[in-house]
Amino acid sequence: MEVPKKDRPFVFVRCLAYNHEPYIEDALKGFAMQITDFPFLAVVIDDCSTDGTADIVRKYEAMYPDIIKGIYLPYNFRSAHEDKRPYYQEYVDKATYWAECEGDDYWTDPYKLQKQVDFMEAHPECTVTFHRYDILQQEEQKWRKDRCGVYLQQNQDFVELTLPMYFENWVTQPCTMIYRKGTYLGQDKPYHGYKDQHLIFHLLNEGKGCILNFNGAVYRENRGGIHGRTPVIQQSRLAVQVAQELYQYNGKTAVLKKNLIRTLDWAIECEKRCDGGSKRVLCSFVIQRFLLVKSIRRMIRQLWL
């Protein structure tokens, strides 16, 4: 692929795939249907799938060589805790913007990339944009709306997404996101695994984030996905770890403190009511919350009620 002209943005699209044979074609069709006046490249990183995912990617790579590039890892990097980025860094280096779409999600608007890039070119203060999406529970084939309606009115073109709004309601998914490359992302901080929450926090902390009022993607919930395979008790503990890291390594601001307290409250209830809950972990979370708010009454209630 040619290096893009300096006066045009170039969008790098990262698609992580592993055993997505039933879904990956939807993602690839979403890339192929994009209509833009700038170059983009969807790089699909297959993490050594054991099903037919790689074969489908190869088929679409042959059909659309200018916009789809497959990278086929020799073994499963996720289980080995190894960094995939060196395999696609050359494409990142050319990019003005970075977009995401996991292999089991997909885009539905052929002008998705164009709309977001046009907005960001017109708003240089904007570090990241999102848009609306639908949620599909795959096994039950049930659809539901996103939670963006909490903030977006029908006649609004966009709404600014601030950090308090982001922590209050999870209204984003990676498949809706485009961000400006070169933004500080906090990847030098001692986080235990870099998650979507880390990324979005730093993007919103460095500049302006906006949700555009168009529906452009489907986020798929399925039992084979990472989220679907993770018990609620583990999700809550991971959420506490991320909230603790954000608070500890980013100035212990009031917004991050409030987010940590809210996350601890949810995790405490999970430890009390979900399968796999632990008295030891429960006590640890309650003590952490007490140290943040110094409420003896709340601590007693959370431990014994």
Asked whether residue 3 carries a pLDDT value surpassing 60, the answer given is: no
Superfamily of domain 11-226: Spore Coat Polysaccharide Biosynthesis Protein SpsA; Chain A (3.90.550.10)
pLDDT per residue as tens digits for the range 141-193: 999 999 888 888 878 999 999 999 999 888 889 999 999 999 999 989 999 88
What pLDDT is recorded for position 297?
A: 62
Q: Name the residue with tokens 């949810």.
A: 266
d(CA 100, CA 203): 14
Two structure tokens written together for 144? 């539901």
Of how many residues is the chain composed?
305
Task: Give the range among 128-132, 169-173, 237-241 with minimum mean pLDDT.
Answer: 169-173
d(CA 120, CA 245): 29
What pLDDT is recorded for position 152?
A: 86
Give domain limits for the chain: 11-226, 231-304
What are the φ and ψ backbone dihedral angles of 169, each rounded to 5 degrees?
-140, 125
Asked whether residue 8 carries a pLDDT value surpassing 80, the answer given is: no
Asked whether residue 2 carries a pLDDT value surpassing 50, the answer given is: no
Quote the longest CA-to-CA distance of the chain. 65
Mean pLDDT for the chain?
90
DSSP3 helix / strand / coil % (the chain, rounded to 5)? 45, 20, 35
What pLDDT is recorded for position 225?
A: 53
Instruction: Say how many CA atoms lie within 13 Å of 41 toward its Cβ.
Output: 23
Two structure tokens written together for 212? 């555009």
d(CA 186, CA 250): 9
d(CA 247, CA 262): 12
d(CA 213, CA 132): 6
Cα–chain-centroid distance for residue 190? 19
Task: Give the range among 9-23, 171-185, 225-239 with minimum mean pLDDT.
Answer: 225-239
Per the rule left: phi > 0, alpha: psi between -120 and 50, beta: everything else, 267 is alpha
Torsion sign across C-alpha atoms 236, 239, 243, 244: positive
Confidence label for 5 from pLDDT (cuts 50, 70 and 90): very low
Asked whether residue 109 carries a pLDDT value surpassing 90, the answer given is: yes
- 292 vs 117, more confident: 117
pLDDT per residue as tens digits for the range 255-287: 999 999 999 999 999 998 888 888 899 889 988
For 262-287, letters b (16+ CB in 10 Å) and e give ebbebbbebbeeeeebeeebbebbbe
What pLDDT is recorded for position 190?
A: 94
Amino acid at 240: V
Asked whether residue 227 carries a pLDDT value surpassing 60, the answer given is: no
pTM of the model: 0.88
The mean per-residue pLDDT over the stretch 48-77 comes to 95
d(CA 177, CA 210): 10
- Of all residues in the chain, the percent with pLDDT exceeding 90 is 70
SS3 at position 103? coil
Torsion sign across C-alpha atoms 263, 268, 271, 272: negative
